[in-house]
Amino acid sequence: MNPELAPGATQLKVDLRDRVAIVAGAGRGIGAAAARTLATAGAAVVCGARSLDELDALVKEIEKAGGEATGVCVDIADPDSVEGLVQAAVDQYGRLDLAFNNAGAHAEGPLHELTIEDFDRVVDVNLRGTFVCLKYEISAMLSSGGGAIVNTASVGGVIGEKFLSPYIASKHGIVGLTKAAALDYADRNIRVNCLAPGATRTRMLLDWLSNDETMEMIVGKTPIGRLADPQEIANVAVFLLSDAASFVTGATYLADGGLVVP
């Protein structure tokens, strides 16, 4: 068995019938897996991503399996685009119950070699984008009696890592933003939690792990001894969005194969 592969990630089973969900960053990887899982659980899913082709393929897949989904092109770095994503959910379904904010960007290299534009691009998507998503999602949820939100950070949101300074800073910011938002709205029936994945077999990570030596190093640092399957991470997000996590808010859930053990 290849130790880098999941032995068989199964989809979490919860009941989310009559819920309306947004997945921002749904085009592939963890976001697409979460959208499928939410739809299988009975939620109507509004999928947001930059690629129309990826959205069309995902929506068709969900509908073929008997689920309900809509695709909306969105640029998380553009506040007007994010507002449009949330408004699309409200216009079509009348409310918003669940949101998974999963878009991400990174820039790699020693800090002094990175440009200010590199930093701004990563922070605009990861941290500012999460703030904007929260702003419009929470406004919609307040109008419909509450909801649940999960923001994707990273193990890089709780530890440091070489040559990823904009990414690490932005992910630490998401953890702090999640805590603040959770306290702001705990008494308004809105839960806000944070998901901190470890190394996951996504296109972004595989593009970064461009050689076997780097891959072996990452896998070797992970006690479980392999990369996560996107479904394994999506399961944690959907759990946090579900009523099974009804007493959980302000938490940062590590799904990292034991990489960070406090």
182/177 Cα distance (integer angstroms) = 8
Q: 3 pLDDT exceeds 60?
A: no
- Which residues have CB under 8 Å from 17's CB, separation 6+? 41, 42, 43
Note the pLDDT of residue 208. 63
Strands 44-49 and 190-197 come out as unpaired
Is 56 a residue whose pLDDT tops 90?
A: yes
List, for residues 139-181, the tens digit of each pLDDT value. Answer: 999 999 999 999 999 999 999 999 999 999 999 999 999 999 9
Q: Could you tell me the domains of the chain?
A: 20-252 (3.40.50.720)
Q: Mark whether 136 is an active-site residue.
A: no
DSSP string over 60-83: HHHHHTT-EEEEEE--TT-HHHHH
pLDDT, tens digit, 9 for 90 and up, residues 177-221? 999 999 999 999 999 999 999 988 777 666 666 666 667 777 888
Task: Indicate which residue of 93, 167, 185, 253 is catalytic.
Answer: 167
Look at residue 103 in the predicted model and tell me its pLDDT.
87
Please tell me the predicted confidence (pLDDT) of residue 52: 95
What pLDDT, on a 0 to 100 scale, did the predictor assign at position 204? 67
